[in-house]
Structure 1
Amino acid sequence: MAKPVIMTVDDDPEVLRAIARDLQKEYGDRFRVLRAESGATALEALEQVKLRNQTVALFLVDQRMPQMSGVEFLEQALELYPDTKRALLTAYADTDAAIRAINTTKIDYYLMKPWDPPEERLYPVLNDLLDDWQASFHPPFEGIRVIGNRWSPQSHDIKDFLARNQVPYEWLDIESSSEAQKLVEYADCDRLQLPLVLFPDGVSLLQPTNIQVAEKIGLQTQAGNPFYDLIIVGGGPAGLAAAVYGASEGLDTVMIEREAPGGQAGTSSRIENYLGFPVGLSGSDLARRAVTQARRFGVEILTPQEVTGIRVEDPYRFVQLADGSEISCHALILALGVSWRRLNVPGLEKFTGAGVYYGAAQTEAISCQGEDVYIVGGANSAGQAAMYFAKYARQVIMLVRGDSLTKSMSQYLIDQIESTPNIQVKVHSSVVEAKGENSLEAIVIADAITGETQTVKATSLFIFIGATPRTEWLDGVIERDDRGFILTGQDLKHGDRRPQGWKLERDPFLLETNIPGIFAVGDVRHNSVKRVASGVGEGSICVQFVHQYLSKVL
């Protein structure tokens, strides 16, 4: 934690140096001593201290200063730091003013100049004030602060990026937080430029990209080497498992993730059927553990970074990155995962990130405190989200197209939902329209049996309706099925014929694509089992096929 500040202000440079020297000598090991030659300069410095989210324990201020007296300074300074202890340095002639200030500005103490010797006339008084301050001091949040509007898609994107990358942050809503409004003023920021991201070192960024935030917080976005034994594209459970097993078995491994390690599973509020965790664990917890394990084995993790293309130049495989760079490898594993499928109804696209969200339960749940939350979907992801929102929302309404949850949801989740009083399941129901001005205000719900529609007030709609692969960039290189999922192994064969262009004497391995040495695992693979354990299993065993491939080409 940064040291609390003791600020002293005096327009006499010699006196200022002397008081700062004495303060530093006695308190420098526990406090940071700041000094200023005028009230205006001190106020400017305090604004910067506030932007860094640091605390001020004591103001020690000379009363008789031109332009702004000590009392006038304290009146303004206390707007920034109302709980800070304050003491005046006065001459004999200022005693009456100091006494009046005790009543008007609630000065804690006044000290007569000179204060020599400080051991008798300064430190005992300040020790008493600082001890009193310390007794009621609550350390501020240490980390990134995000100031924005709840209904801003850009603000949501920043929060979601930080949350998914396990970066603690404090959210301040400009509409409801007086502190946020003051910080925006101190940072000289127009509200239209939000979100404003404040870092502990005092740096602030307006409407930053994920890449800018990543570089500031120390995430690696550039490859350390031009060549690797194994490149893994995608950082979900399958990709992380492949990274752990690849690196632990001696392969120089890099994993490239375009958003955050954990993939779609990383957004899950609770996974309760994963082997070895009888009370369940969150997707973010699983991702954190896996990332720690991968890094322990020396895996290089690039995030956020996106692969935009693949080319083959035997015996090497090359990947092109979004920043224009290129790295190569002997073997490549595609663990691309899937993205939430979009619901195509009027109005939804307009409010995405402003009341309409795909996934993001953990990012937005606290903002929904005491409100009604609508969830579209009837599979496990929707059920896990409903249980999570039930801790915060007044009521959670699940809109399910089918006649029950049993066709697509695990029984343990169905039982939990049925026993949670503030979750309501509406079957044969779907959203057909979203309404609002700048953010979601209402949705239209249709009943598939009666055909009736109902318009209800809604400020938060979360959609979990399945997933779709984002593999368009593989066109002309990697064979896929008609839905975009990658074909591997026997699914590549047409009768007894091997894939077109296949030159090896053997058939493709179980998880190998139509290009030797390029493999696919997890949800992006055709006919894969969409479960976390399955993805972890495929990522693990794929490394054995990588070794078999390398043994023949190296």
Structure 2
Amino acid sequence: MTGPAAAPRKPVILTVDDDPAVSRAVARDLRRHYGEKFRIVRAESGPDALETLNELKLRGETVAVFVADYRMPQMSGIEFLEAAMDIFPMARRVLLTAYADTHAAIDAINVVDLDHYLLKPWDPPEEKLYPVIDALIEAWRATGERAIPHTKIIGHPWNARSSEVREFLARNRLYYSWFRSDEPKGAALLEAAGQDGMTLPVVITEQGETLIDPTDAELAATLGLTTTPSGDFYDLVVIGGGPAGLAAAVYGASEGLKTVLIERTATGGQAGQSSRIENYLGFPDGLSGAQLAERARRQAEKFDAELITAAEVVALEVDGVARTVHLSDGRAIGTRAVILAMGVEYRQLPAEGCADLTGAGVYYGATTSVASECDDDEVYVIGGANSAGQAAMYLSRTAKSVTLVIRRTLEDSMSHYLIQQIRSRDNIKEMPNTVVHAVKGNGHLEGICLEHTDTGEREEFACGRMFIFIGAEPRTDWLDGVVVRDDHGFIVAGPDLRDISGWTLDRPPHHLETSVPGVFVAGDVRSESAKRVAAAVGEGSMAVMLVHRYLAET
């Protein structure tokens, strides 16, 4: 006769503080609120806490959250968190700190990817402690301590499509394992799938289905993303899933409009690829673009907005008050109103050899899959705006050195706080008044030739990876002849239409309304927009208010 099966162990919240009174107080407050579903474990020094973590690991237990005091004599809270990450890398990290140590806590955001810092005292916990831990537990459950994912990608770092597939899955929060085709495990998987590795990447799904160099649409459909709208008519169609589009979807659906958002690649847009956004209102610790995109996506879905991925809009048809959106698969969707929120795409670097090596050492943006492979490399970041600075800070955590190549100077285009962070990092070097003349390599990037614009002198350097952030441009050619665009392809709206032909109504256009009544624009794709995440979110929500006004008039 066998006894009952052992109950699964509760995940752990571990707190470490060298002050016994504080340690007991933290554990008491955590146990009071989370004791039913979590085991609260406390330690009074960093080394003791690490020993406990190793024991938990050996027993097969999981840790959801670390709460560590900053000032501890044997090992600081930052040093502890850095070591703890090696044992339980998915656990969320909180630093307890006094007001005087706030700057150290902010620095820790970049050193150990800190999720939050709490000022002592944290009373009342209902206002200052529990909301923070609740959010971190929710995020931990979303990524959690997972078993090895069943979806497998077999590819090669110098195969451009391999990098694209990895990034597509990562940005759409589809978990996978990566195997190099030239290593034993990858070769064994290729053999088992009956492939010779001549065509990469190869994707093997959880069900054992093999996809050879799949398109984004094939990946999305096979791995369970929603790729087609459920209906043929909507109150509001939002085109683009960046911050502006996600904000429009949230406000549209929450205010009773039947809303569908159509995104070509992944929600979050360019902002979703940012390693750290630190000047977004309400997030003093900063947050990653992926975190912002994920929270906004969940929020939109909570209000029953439909989010369609890997679907491309190719035309907008206007017939009186009817608006029809045409997709690349031939499907057409009718709608009462449209919000154009496609954002922008990275501008291509015209340097000699760049196009041939894109995806093989030359990258636009610093994707997580590529950035994770830059350990001990000497990398170059091209550009001087905030996106380049954020990438440089992120890459400097693991790269041997990061060189920022800037056409002018950092002060011309980068936020002051980010310049200060960059100049505090010993392994980041600035090269102002410099452009890329050419890149060289046989099958992958091996060298870079830089030209100093003030002297005309050229220098060559060994370089294995280069990340490009030289501005962006809209992809609005499919709207040619439909809405008015400026000379650079950005969409003109509101008062800016005053001196441009194309407006047909007696009333003036609403603030974000394009030359077609009922078609609005929000975010970076709008002419003269601010090109900031907060501005895009504001415009997305404002556009919905104007949609309501338009619908009330028709």
TM class by shorter-chain length?
0.7 to 0.9
1:417 is aligned to 422
2:293 counterpart of 1:287: yes
Distance 2:222 2:381 in 1: 35
Structure 1 residue 376 displacement after superposition: 0.3
Distance 1:145 1:316 in 2: 45
1:205-228 deviation line (CA, Å, top 9, x unaligned): 111111111011111111100000
1:338 is aligned to 344
Q: TM-score, normalised by structure 2?
A: 0.73
2:540 is aligned to 539
1:397 is aligned to 403
1:12-59 deviation line (CA, Å, top 9, x unaligned): xxxxxxxxxxxxx99xx99xxxxxxxxxxxxxxxxxxxxxxxxxxxxx
Structure 1 residue 361 displacement after superposition: 3.2
- For structure 1, which segment, 194-203 or 347-356, has the greater mean C-alpha deviation from structure 2 after superposition? 194-203
Q: 1:196 aligns with which of 181, 186, 202?
A: 202
> Counterparts in 2 of 1:376-525, with a 5 A limit?
376-402=382-408, 404-494=409-499, 499-500=501-502, 502-525=503-526
2:527 is aligned to 526
1:173-213 deviation line (CA, Å, top 9, x unaligned): 223x3211211111111111221112222222111111111
1:337-394 deviation line (CA, Å, top 9, x unaligned): 0000111111000011111110133231111111111110011000000011011211
SS in 2 for 1:439: coil
SS in 2 for 1:401: coil
1:220 is aligned to 226
Structure 1 residue 448 displacement after superposition: 1.5
1:154 is aligned to 161
2:371 is aligned to 365
Structure 1 residue 516 displacement after superposition: 0.4
Distance 1:396 1:174 in 2: 28
Distance 2:260 2:416 in 1: 38
> Counterparts in 2 of 1:236-255, with a 5 A limit?
236-255=242-261
**Residues 139/252 of structure 1: CA separation in 2 closer, same or farther (3 Å cut):** closer
SS in 2 for 1:292: helix
Distance 2:367 2:376 in 1: 15
Distance 1:193 1:503 in 2: 53
Structure 1 residue 449 displacement after superposition: 2.2
Structure 1 residue 270 displacement after superposition: 0.5
1:375-414 deviation line (CA, Å, top 9, x unaligned): 1001100000001101121111111111x21110011111
1:125 is aligned to none
Q: Are the counterparts in 2 of residues 361 and 462 from structure 1 also a CA contact under 8 Å?
A: no
> Counterparts in 2 of 1:169-318, with a 5 A limit?
169-175=176-182, 177-318=183-324
Distance 1:429 1:371 in 2: 21
SS in 2 for 1:524: coil
Distance 2:275 2:381 in 1: 14
Q: Are the counterparts in 2 of residues 238 and 539 from structure 1 also a CA contact under 8 Å?
A: yes
Q: 2:380 aligns with which of 374, 383, 386?
A: 374
Root-mean-square deviation over aligned CA pairs:
1.8
Q: Which runs of 5+ in 2 are unaligned?
A: 7-144
Task: Write the letter of the residue equivalent to 1:539.
Answer: G
Q: Are the counterparts in 1 of residues 167 and 367 from structure 2 also a CA contact under 8 Å?
A: no
Task: Write the letter of the residue equivalent to 2:346.
Answer: W
Structure 1 residue 314 displacement after superposition: 2.4
Distance 1:178 1:279 in 2: 42
Between structure 1 and structure 2, the one with the greater Rg is 1
Task: Write the letter of the residue equivalent to 2:425.
Answer: T
> Counterparts in 2 of 1:76-115, with a 5 A limit?
none
Distance 2:207 2:375 in 1: 31
Structure 1 residue 140 displacement after superposition: 5.2
Distance 1:199 1:525 in 2: 39
Task: Write the letter of the residue equivalent to 1:399.
Answer: V
1:141 is aligned to 148
Moved over 3 A (4+): none
1:250-290 deviation line (CA, Å, top 9, x unaligned): 00000000111001111111000001111100001100000
Distance 1:355 1:139 in 2: 30
Distance 2:217 2:380 in 1: 32
- For structure 1, which segment, 469-478 or 183-192, has the greater mean C-alpha deviation from structure 2 after superposition? 183-192
SS in 2 for 1:263: coil
1:491-540 deviation line (CA, Å, top 9, x unaligned): 1111xxx742x332210000000110000010000111110000000001
Task: Write the letter of the residue equivalent to 2:435.
Answer: S
1:72 is aligned to none
Distance 1:302 1:314 in 2: 27
Q: Which runs of 5+ in 1 are unaligned?
A: 1-24, 31-137
Distance 1:532 1:289 in 2: 14
